[in-house]
Structure formats: C-alpha cells, structure tokens
Amino acid sequence: MAVKIRLARRGRKKAAIYDIVVADARAPRDGKFIEKLGTYNPNTVPASIDFSEEKAFQWLMNGAQPTDTVKAMLSYRGILYKKHLQIGVVKGAITQETADARFEEWKNAKDAKIAGKVESLSSAKEAAKKAAFEAETKKKEARAEAIRQRDAEKAAANAPAAEAEEAPEAPAAEGESTEEQA
C-alpha cells in the first residue's frame, strides 16, 4: 500500500482551508485517511501551517511520500532537513548530538527569519495605514480651505451689492436734510 502525505480540502468556496493528512494513494482527495497531521491555511499572510512535526517526521522515516505542496511545507518547517540529518546518523556519518545541534541552529535561524518577515509585514501595513490617514487629512484640509475661499468670495460679492444698496440711500438722506434746511 502506497502511503502519501497530502492535503484534504475543507472550508467554504473561495476560502479553502486544508488538512494535512496521511492517506492511501488510492483514496479520494477528501475521502478516507489514516491520520490527520495538522492544518494549512493559505488565506492568512503569511500562510499558517500548523502540524505535528514529530508525526510527520515519523511517517517520512517510515516511507510515506509527500505531495509537492506538502513537500514544500515540510521543507519550510525543516522536517526534510531533519530527515536528511537522521539518515546521516543511521549511516554513521555524524552523531545524533551533532545532528540535533545542526537542526536546532537551523530552526532558530528560520524562526528568526519568519519573525522578521511577520514584523516587516505588520510595519508595512502600519506605515500604509498612516500614509492613508495623512493623505485623507491633507485632502480634508484642502476641502476646508476651498470652502473658506468660496465663502469669502460670496461675502466679497455680497459686500459691494450691500454697499450699492446703502449708497443710494445715503445721498438721498443727505438730500432730504438739505431740503429741510432750505
């Protein structure tokens, strides 16, 4: 029986979430499986991969073949590197302590790289949010200035008309007073 480590789809339309499962190669994609190792969610940034590394390593050492996508995930998490080191231990090329030390060193470097990527993504998102806020504030101030100018122009246009209305009355008032004096 050929055993594969592969993805089984679940979730709703256009928002798929996958289970990482060990299944018979002849079984359907979403059908019967031997063991569920974890989940994979490609909808998050970066994609979240949660699975039991010990079980995956055990299945790899027992001969289970990963699909291309799962192989990329196992490589990303270091399981294939751990398998490579363990084969070196079995052949006698290195000791178990050396293999464990190399794997831990690699794992720490990879975790730091992932944390740096997550941090850079969050800081870029925050910077974009701040830039959008500043652009919105600038646009709001420009609109307020345009409204102030428009109101000033209306006031300036209304002021000469008001003066023109008051101007004929003023000379007439003076004319009345001159007639009274005569």
What is the structure's pLDDT at 167? 56
Tens of pLDDT, residue by residue over 19-66, are 999 999 998 888 889 999 999 999 987 889 999 999 999 999 999 999
pLDDT at 161 over 70: no
What is the structure's pLDDT at 108? 94
For residue 76, what are the CA distances in angstroms to 48, 69, 82? 12, 11, 11
Q: Determine what percent of the chain is predicted with pLDDT higher than 90.
A: 66
Q: Return d(Cα 116, Cα 41) in angstroms, integer.
A: 20
Q: Confidence band (pLDDT; 50, 70, 90) for 118? A: confident
Q: How many CB atoms lie within 10 A of CB 11?
A: 12
For residue 44, the cross-strand partners are none
pLDDT at 174 over 60: no
Average pLDDT over residues 145-154: 89
State in Å, rounded, how far the first CA of the chain is from the last one: 130
What is the structure's pLDDT at 31? 86
What is the structure's pLDDT at 177? 54
What is the structure's pLDDT at 166? 66
Q: In order of start, what are the domains of the chain with their CATH numbers?
A: 3-94 (3.30.1320.10)
CA nearest neighbour of 68 among 22, 7, 18 = 7
Q: Give the predicted TM-score (pTM) of the model.
A: 0.66
What is the structure's pLDDT at 178? 52
pLDDT at 129 over 80: yes
Mean pLDDT of the chain: 87
Average pLDDT over residues 135-160: 88
pLDDT at 180 over 60: no
Q: Give me the amino acid identity at 10.
A: R
Average pLDDT over residues 152-181: 65
